[in-house]
Structure 1
Amino acid sequence: MAETPSVAEASLPLERDFFLRSLLRQLSGTLEDVVGLDEASGYISVVGGAMGEDIDAAYRTALKVERLSPRQVSEVLVDLKRRIQGDFYVVEETADRIVLGNRRCPFGAMVAGRPSLCMMTSNVFGRIAADNIGYARVEIPRAIAKGDRECLVVVHLNPSAKAEPSAREYFGRVDAARG
């Protein structure tokens, strides 16, 4: 008869990263169920915006620049997702937009069925781009969270008269130190 392992030796997939991703999945699911997808996305977007500001400040400090160049913005968007175990890559980069693909969501399998979590990406990317370039409009036409095989994130860098109903606009913050 096999000996029963101690509680401390029990084989469980429970560690900090898994716990936090599970927490976010449950929180976003509860919000989606209670207030609906649009409102849940709104709540998550507030958090994403604040995180975008913090991440942007950290990169600008580390790179010793007052403002990121458009090329650096693109590099930062890919790098920050790499650091949190996403697999983002540049599909296209022009003066008008940055198009990114993603083969692996940082939330892992926990993102499935939780499209409100895409607001983290939208707001972090939008805040970083807008605060450095002056404007961003982010749309996510494909998302792993919605069952797509990969994500596609389009960060438009110039305002447009044509409105995409699923896109979110971000405007650079007024900052006297930046001019």
Structure 2
Amino acid sequence: MATDQARDIFFRDMLRDISGALEDVVGLDEAEGYFAVVGALMGERIWNAYQSERTDPITCADVPDLLVDLKDRIGGTFRIESRSAKSTTFCNGACPFGDRVEGRQSLCMMTSNVFGFIAAEANGYARVDLEKTIAAGDGMCRVTVHFEKEAEGHGREYYAQP
């Protein structure tokens, strides 16, 4: 087995074990909170990297394509299912964590927080709904990023950093 492949499997297994231990010890909600913090840090790092690659500012209109590019870079297969000025819905059939994500829903907070951080930085506000996830056994992911605050809705809200 190639060194890069072995390292990738090692880190996926490690993340699966860490998320499983957290979910077992502190519960799913608290484990999601831990991964939300990590996802926010990753979102900020990725936002800064994308900003440094560009000469013009990232706008709300850029976000959907940027998020697809991000997931492509890390082994996801996210594609845009629908897009409007108010929201974008993404579908995915392959998680970057591979089959190690199954049964580890707390890891989905990485996607929610990275998507939410980037969308909020470009737009001022975002809400991310994880409608279906591979981790929950849905066989695919469906994630909607909302760019406008609505009275009703599920998901996690994000705001641009001051």
**Structure 1-normalised TM-score?**
0.86
Residue 24 of structure 1 aligns to a residue whose secondary structure is helix
1:25 aligns with 2:19: no
User: CA separation in 2, counterparts of 1:129 and 1:170?
Assistant: 8
Residue 127 of structure 1 aligns to a residue whose secondary structure is helix
1:88 aligns with 2:78: yes
Deviations for 1:67-116, whole angstroms, at most 9, x for unmatched residues?
Answer: 31223211110011000110000011111001100010000000000000
Residue correspondence of structure 1 range 1-179 to structure 2 within 5 A: 15-65=6-56, 67-164=57-154, 167-174=155-162
- Structure of larger gyration radius: 1
**Structure 2-normalised TM-score?**
0.95
User: CA separation in 1, counterparts of 2:55 and 2:42?
Assistant: 20
User: CA separation in 2, counterparts of 1:131 and 1:70?
Assistant: 9
| Partner AA of 2:18 in structure 1 | L
Q: Structure 1: 5+ residue runs without aligned partners?
A: 1-9, 175-179
Deviations for 1:40-65, whole angstroms, at most 9, x for unmatched residues?
Answer: 00000000001001101101110223
Q: Structure 2: 5+ residue runs without aligned partners?
A: none
Report how many residues are paired.
Answer: 162
| Partner AA of 2:41 in structure 1 | A
User: CA separation in 2, counterparts of 1:163 and 1:142?
Assistant: 15
| Partner AA of 1:74 in structure 2 | P
Q: Percent identity?
A: 49
User: CA separation in 1, counterparts of 2:49 and 2:143?
Assistant: 23
User: In the alignment, which residue of structure 2 is the partner of 1:6?
Assistant: none
Q: CA RMSD in A?
A: 1.8
Deviant stretches of 4+, over 2 Å: none
Deviation for aligned residue 1:149: 1.6
User: CA separation in 1, counterparts of 2:84 and 2:59?
Assistant: 13
